[in-house]
A and B are shown apart, each in its own frame.
Chain A
Amino acid sequence: MLYIKNILSCILVLPLIGAFILSFIPSSSRSLLRSIALNCSCLTFVLSLLLWVFFNKSVGTFQFTENFFWVPILNLNFSIGIDGISLFFILLTTLLIPICLLASWDTIQVDLKKYLISFLVMEFFLIGVFCTLDLLFFYIFFESVLIPMFLIIGIWGSRERKIRAAYFFFLYTLLGSVLMLLSILYIYYQVGTTDYEVLLTFSFSPLEQKIMWFAFFASFATKVPMVPVHLWLPEAHVEAPTAGSVILAGVLLKLGTYGFIRFSFPLFPEACFYFAPFVYAMSVVGIVYTSFTAIRQSDFKRIIAYTSVAHMNLVMVGLFSFNVIGLEGAILQSLSHGFVASALFLIIGVVYDRHHTRMVKYYGGLVHTMPIYVFIFLFFTMSNIGLPGTGSFVGEFLILTGSFKANTTVTFLSATGMIIGGCYSLWLFNRIAYGNLKTQYFKNYLDINKREFLIFFPLLLGTLVMGIYPNIFLNSIHFSTNMLVEFMYF
């Protein structure tokens, strides 16, 4: 019990230690490299489960807090801690990293060592984003994630367009976040510290709030992504390797929504209310536009990428309803999207590994040869639509209930997104799974193997549990969300 206090910092540095060990192992011993990386990430996951076990569900404050001095002379310190909101994002990260490593078990041929190291370093940065309680360190981790992801897209991406995609990804996000950096510096200049818990006690003037909210919005909206700045996402998804897409859809997009919940809401509450109609408008346009765009894509991955945009925009609608139901729904939908979108990208990865194409027109009738695969595909397609019994249903239901209180028109318009979602998901599933087997294109078919089943199993289980008994998750989220909402209104 004595050491349970330091468990969060252990989780934080464990991937870094793993990466450090990996750097000393010769790149020729591939199986050793892979097993060390996998074991390290699995250990991190087990530790983060312990975090959940020892998490006190009946308080909304930060737990497992630790403080480290960094530059005392400038009053910059590194403090970590979690509450109910960040807990599940950390769990999502630590779950998805071993899945990513398993998904790219055999497919990565070149520079395996660098690949594994970048994934572990990225895990470190992502956990850092979610557990840091310092605004400047949040920015540091938030930006640092770009480096490993940039390398993953650029080095292990599949086609020639990957360089363009990597640039898109890097520069879009960077351009958004430098504005956030500017306002972080302004906050530091005003308050004299960037410690989150101190910042909560400080209130900015309405004009300052509006300007800084917009700067933060520029950064987070690029990450979510909202519509005019979503262009990097389909590019990055299509060009990234499967595991890269999984982590991109599963965790990186959540950085935006997490940033809104953690920083924009409590620091600039008045600006949030002021800009809510603007966000609603952008989100609704995003939902409808990207859902329609998804229908006319020919690339398997591009379709899923556009559905990701639609779902994340729905999360934005939930967030800006400013009530407990909507916020909880948004968090839950983020989590379930983390499961479902990751699983869909993994599903694409399975057929891409076998046939090396992602064009929908080459596939057809897979149900005849790959029944287990099609079953899993069906399950996740249904949860993508939001079938009752899956996590997405609970999330979407809560979001729509919450936003109904705030703005009925927006609820109506965003609910149409779900209908169009049904269109493209079923259309896609129909093309891939049913119809004639296109033997003129592909000769050999192979159903999923044990490793691939192991990848899908936890995601499938998680989605089901979230759909059938969401209280497991909501229990822990509840108090923190309540505190946040109270903080915003008072």
Chain B
Amino acid sequence: MRIETLLFKEIVILPELFLGISLVYLVLHCTFLAIKKNYPLIQNSVLYLGVLVLFLSCFLVLNDGLDVLEQSVLNDTIVNDYLSFFSKLVIGSLSLFCLLMIQPYLTSQKINQFEYILLILFAVLGLFLLCSSNDLLTAYLAIELQSLAFYVLASFKKNSTHSVDAGIKYFILGAFSSSLFLFGSSLLYGVTGTINFEEFKDLFVNVFPGNHDVILNEISLFDFSLVQFGLVFILISLLFKLAIAPFHTWAPDVYEGSPSSSTFFFSVVPKLAIFVLLLRIFYYSFFGFFESWRYFIVIVVVLSIIVGSFGGLEQRKLKSLLVYSSISHMGYALIAFSAGTFESIQMLLCYLVVYSFSGLCVWSIFILTRLKNNHLQKQNKDLTDLVLLGKSNYMLAIFFTTVLFSVAGFPPMIGFLVKISVFLTAIESSMFFVVLISILCSVVGTFYYIRLIKILYFEKVLVGKLYYPIQVQSSVLISLLFFLFLFLFINPTLLYLFSYKISLLVSTAV
């Protein structure tokens, strides 16, 4: 009887269990196979096995998410709700695309070790756990699992000093920010005696935005300033992970130095999971302290949008351009986060999903275009290397243009709709000045996207770098993404419905 109920309850974390067990199996499989067989076989087999495992875990997520609503298991450390279901689905499909897209790059760059794929899968496991973590320690462990995988991924090219340099930088700053997270958690634990999000919510059920000073006088059960102190540490640590402006200085170095496939992965996939954690902590548990963390975030938003928009103007390398673009986009996402209304959660999630998919598109174009006659095996493309892309890879250039307009938030694309939704939530909570600054900075940001389009089409040069045509499987994936984009603009209701359900769940406190 007891075993039966246990199994029935634990089945909720089946996707993670399946992914973890398969990973253990894959490690064994690769280690034993590596002794006998040589490189291409094992590389390909582990890639396709990895894709299969990921696909099945996504399928499992889809399977149990449809009827299960809110269930917490394992002493309330793991929760399975609509938020985790949705984010896991998105993260799973993003990493699936990622794995398939980087395959030609790995072959061409001679990254032959099977560990690469396994590390990506470990990171996905960490992200899955992060999405459904229900207390601070589980969240910390999940963050560490994914971060450790990222550190290794960043320094994977052992013979390149840039890559090793990036790995070390990423490791030091990542460890630093993780320690901030731990410190914040310990403060919270010291004050309240719990680390569970649900219990936090129950503890602070009487605290509403704007009135915690009143409560402080009435019942001095906790030292509220210490709670705020702990929250700030946690916030800073998570902003470090997101590379938001004052904490972004590691990002350009790390993103440029790492192998492009790793950068691709850790610039696109983990953002959503970290935002899920932010939502859980700051909206679900500690919404009563909204007034105290809001202004901090508003300052950070303005800074990161300005840095992202103006910093990108002077970049000559595509990768660093994308870094700055991601900094400003995270700023836009945080605008919605700082609005603190019911709609803001909805718009935040819509923005993040669309941002992740457009990031996926841009990066896959970056990864898939391989230069002909590239003796130096230069892995970081200059912007001007794209000059002949419009001629040699005609359809790819059109796709790139469409995605760039969408990323810039230009009207007939889905990027526009989600961007104005974000601004709308900010206007609803009277943040006019922030919106004005960010909307003007977005014009500056548009400049560097249209500069890319200029390079693609306008220049009449006959000397330039040619590209190999991309593989059939990648082109199928890319056209799939393209139609996703078109479909999302014509019928965005699906996206908004999903996020509506989630915001119903998260915003119980709002």
Binding site for B on A (CB under 8 A): 70-74, 125, 136, 139-141, 143-144, 146-147, 150-151, 154-155, 162-163, 166-167, 170-171, 174-175, 178-179, 181-182, 185-186, 188-189
Task: Select the stretch in B137-145, B272-280, B435-443 that faces chain A.
Answer: B435-443
How far, in angstroms, from A140 to B446 measured CA to CA in the complex? 16
> In the bound complex, do residue A178 and residue B411 qualify as a contact, i.e. CB atoms below 8 Å apart?
no
B496 contacts A182, C-beta separation under 8 Å:
no
Q: A73-B497, A146-B410 are in contact. List 15 more A-B contacts (CB 8 A).
A: A70-B492, A71-B417, A125-B412, A140-B411, A140-B416, A147-B412, A154-B454, A163-B458, A163-B459, A166-B458, A170-B450, A175-B440, A178-B440, A185-B424, A186-B427
Interface magnitude class on chain B: 20 to 34
Partner of A182, one of B411, B423, B457: B423
CA distance in complex: A336, B212 (Å): 66
Q: What's the nearest-Cβ distance from chain B to residue A122, in Å? A: 12
Pairwise interchain contact A185-B454, C-beta atoms closer than 8 A: no
Q: Given known contacts A73-B496, A144-B412, A189-B428, is B447 in contact with A171 (CB within 8 Å)?
A: yes
- In the complex, A143→B450 CA distance in Å? 14
Contact B420 A185 (CB under 8 A): yes
Distance in Å from the Cβ of B452 to the closest Cβ of chain A?
12
Complex Cα spacing A126 to B457, Å: 23
- Contact (Cβ within 8 A) A74 B496: yes
Contact between B427 and A189, CB atoms less than 8 A apart = yes
> Closest approach, in angstroms, between the C-beta of A73 and any C-beta of chain B?
5
Q: In this complex, what residue of A is CB-closest to B499? A: A73
Interface residues of B (CB under 8 A from A): 405, 410-412, 416-417, 420-421, 423-424, 427-428, 435-436, 439-440, 442-443, 446-447, 450, 453-454, 457-459, 492-493, 496-497, 500
Say which residue of B412, B458, B492 sits within 8 Å of A155 (CB atoms): B458
Bound complex: CA A141 to CA B140 (Å): 47
10 contacts between A and B (CB under 8 A): A71-B496, A72-B493, A73-B493, A73-B500, A141-B411, A147-B410, A151-B457, A163-B458, A174-B443, A189-B427
Contacts of B410 in A (CB 8 A): 143-144, 146-147
Interchain nearest-CB distance for A189 vs B (Å): 5
Residues of A within 8 A of B443 (CB): 171, 174-175, 178
Closest to A178 in B: B439
With A150-B450, A167-B450 as contacts: A140 and B412 at CB distance below 8 Å: yes
**B457: which of A155, A170, A178, A188 is its contact (CB, 8 Å)?**
A155
B420 touches A181 (CB 8 A): yes
Which of A125, A150, A185, A189 has the most chain B CB atoms inside 10 A of its CB?
A185
Assess A185 versus B427: contact at CB under 8 Å? Given A154-B454, A163-B454.
Answer: yes
Which residues of A are found within 8 Å of B427, using beta-carbon distances? 182, 185-186, 189
Docked pose: A166 CA to B450 CA in angstroms: 10
The chain A residue with its CB closest to the CB of B451 is A167
Beta-carbon nearest neighbor of A154 in chain B: B458
CB-CB < 8 A to B435: which residues of A?
Answer: 182, 185
Bound complex: CA of A462 vs CA of B433, how far in Å?
Answer: 49
- A174 and B424 form a contact (CB under 8 A): no
Q: Which residue of A lies closest to B436 (CB)?
A: A182
Contacts of A73 in B (CB 8 A): 493, 496-497, 500
Contacts of A146 on B, CB cut-off 8 Å? 410
Q: Which of chain A's residues has its CB closest to B500's CB?
A: A73
Minimum-distance CB pairs A-B, first 9: A143-B411, A154-B458, A140-B411, A144-B412, A144-B411, A73-B496, A178-B439, A189-B427, A185-B424
Q: Which residues on B sit within 8 Å (CB–CB) of A70?
A: 492-493
Q: What distance in Å separates the Cβ of A194 from its nearest Cβ neighbour in chain B?
A: 11
When C-beta atoms are compared, the residue in chain A nearest to B408 turns out to be A174
> Cβ of B417: which chain A residues have Cβ within 8 Å of it?
71
Question: With the chains together, A136 CA to B417 CA distance in Å?
Answer: 10
The closest CB in chain A to the CB of B440 belongs to A178
In the complex formed, the residue of B with least CB distance to A137 is B411
In the complex, which residues of chain B have a beta carbon less than 8 angstroms from the beta carbon of A178? 439-440, 442-443
Docked CA distance A244–B275 (Å):
45
Residue among B446, B450, B453, B500 with max Cβ neighbours from chain A (10 Å): B450
Say which residue of A170, A175, A189 sits within 8 Å of B424 (CB atoms): A189
Distance to closest chain B CB from A360 (angstroms): 27
Chain A residues lying within 8 Å of B493, measured Cβ to Cβ, are: 70-73
From A139, A140, A146, residue with most partner B Cβ within 10 Å: A140
A124: nearest residue on chain B (CB-CB)?
B412
In the complex, A238→B123 CA distance in Å? 55
Residue of A whose beta carbon sits closest to that of B442:
A178
Known: A140-B411, A171-B443, A174-B443. Is A166-B454 also a contact (CB below 8 A)?
yes
Question: Within 8 Å CB of A179, what residues of B?
Answer: 439
Give the residues in chain A near B446, CB-CB below 8 Å: 170-171, 174
Alpha-carbon gap, A303 to B396, bound state (A): 40
Q: How far is the CA of A185 from the CA of B428 in the complex (A)?
A: 9
Q: From A176, which residue of chain B is reached at the shortest CB distance?
A: B443
State how many angstroms separate the Cβ of A134 from the closest Cβ of chain B. Answer: 13
B101 to chain A, nearest CB (A): 25
Per the bound structure, the CA–CA distance linking A167 and B440 in Å amounts to 16
Instruction: Give Cα distance in the complex from A143 to B457, angstroms.
Output: 20
Q: How far is the CA of A182 from the CA of B434 in the complex (A)?
A: 11
Contacts of A72 in B (CB 8 A): 493
**Nearest A residue (CB) for B428:** A189
A154 engages B411 (CB within 8 Å): no
Q: In the docked arrangement, what's the CA distance between A74 and B425, Å?
A: 12
Q: CB distance A181 to B439 under 8 Å?
A: yes
Closest to B430 in A: A189
Decide yes or no: A188 and B412 within 8 Å by CB, A151-B457, A171-B443, A178-B440 being known contacts: no
Question: For the complex, what is the distance from the CA of A155 to the CA of B492, rounded to whole Å?
Answer: 32
Contacts of A186 in B (CB 8 A): 427
Which of chain B's residues have a CB closer than 8 A to the CB of A163? 454, 458-459
CA distance A141 to B411 in the complex (A): 7
For B492, list chain A residues within 8 Å (CB): 70-71
Set of chain B residues within 8 Å of A181, measured between Cβ atoms: 420, 423, 439
Contact in complex: A182, B428 (CB < 8 Å): no
Question: Which residue from chain A places its CB closest to the CB of B455 in the assembled complex?
Answer: A163
- Residue numbers in B under 8 Å from A188 (CB-CB): 424
Closest to B402 in A: A147
A144 / chain B contacts, CB cutoff of 8 Å: 410-412
Q: What separation, in Å, do the CA atoms of A167 and B457 have in the docked complex?
A: 13
A140-B412, A147-B410, A178-B439 known; A185 and B496 CB under 8 Å? no
Specify which chain A residues have a CB less than 8 angstroms from the CB of B442 in the assembled complex.
178
| Chain B positions within 8 Å of A166 at CB level | 454, 458
A150 and B435 CA atoms in complex are apart in Å by: 26
Determine if B458 and A139 form an interchain contact, defined as CB atoms under 8 angstroms apart: no
A320 → B minimal CB distance (Å)? 27
- A147 near B405 with CB under 8 A, answer yes
Contact B457–A154 (Cβ < 8 Å): yes
Closest to B412 in A: A144
CB distance from B345 to the nearest CB of A (A): 14
Measured between alpha carbons, how far is A170 from B444 in the docked complex, in Å? 12
Docked CA distance A59–B410 (Å):
37
Report the bound CA distance from A178 to B439 in whole Å: 7
Across-interface contacts of B458 in A (CB, < 8 A) = 154-155, 162-163, 166
Q: How long is the Cα–Cα vector from A334 to B131 in the complex, in angstroms?
A: 58
How many angstroms from the CA of A369 to the CA of B493 in the assembled complex?
63
Contacts of B416 in A (CB 8 A): 140
Q: Chain B: which residue is nearest A160 at the CB level?
A: B460
B412 adjacent to A182 (CB under 8 Å): no
Residues of A near B428 (CB, < 8 A) are: 189
Q: Which residues of A contact B423 (CB under 8 A)?
A: 181-182, 185
A140 CA to B414 CA, complexed, in Å: 11
Contact A182 B454 (CB under 8 A): no
Complex Cα distance, B443 from A146, in Å, reads 14
What CA separation (Å) do A151 and B457 show in the bound complex?
Answer: 8
Could you say which residues of chain B place their CB within 8 Å of the CB of A162? 458
Determine how close the nearest CB of chain A comes to the CB of B40; give it in whole angstroms: 38
A74 to B346 CA separation, bound complex (whole angstroms): 11
Of B424, B458, B496, most A-chain CB atoms within 10 Å: B458
Note all chain B residues with C-beta closer than 8 A to A139.
411
A170 to B410, CA, bound (A): 11
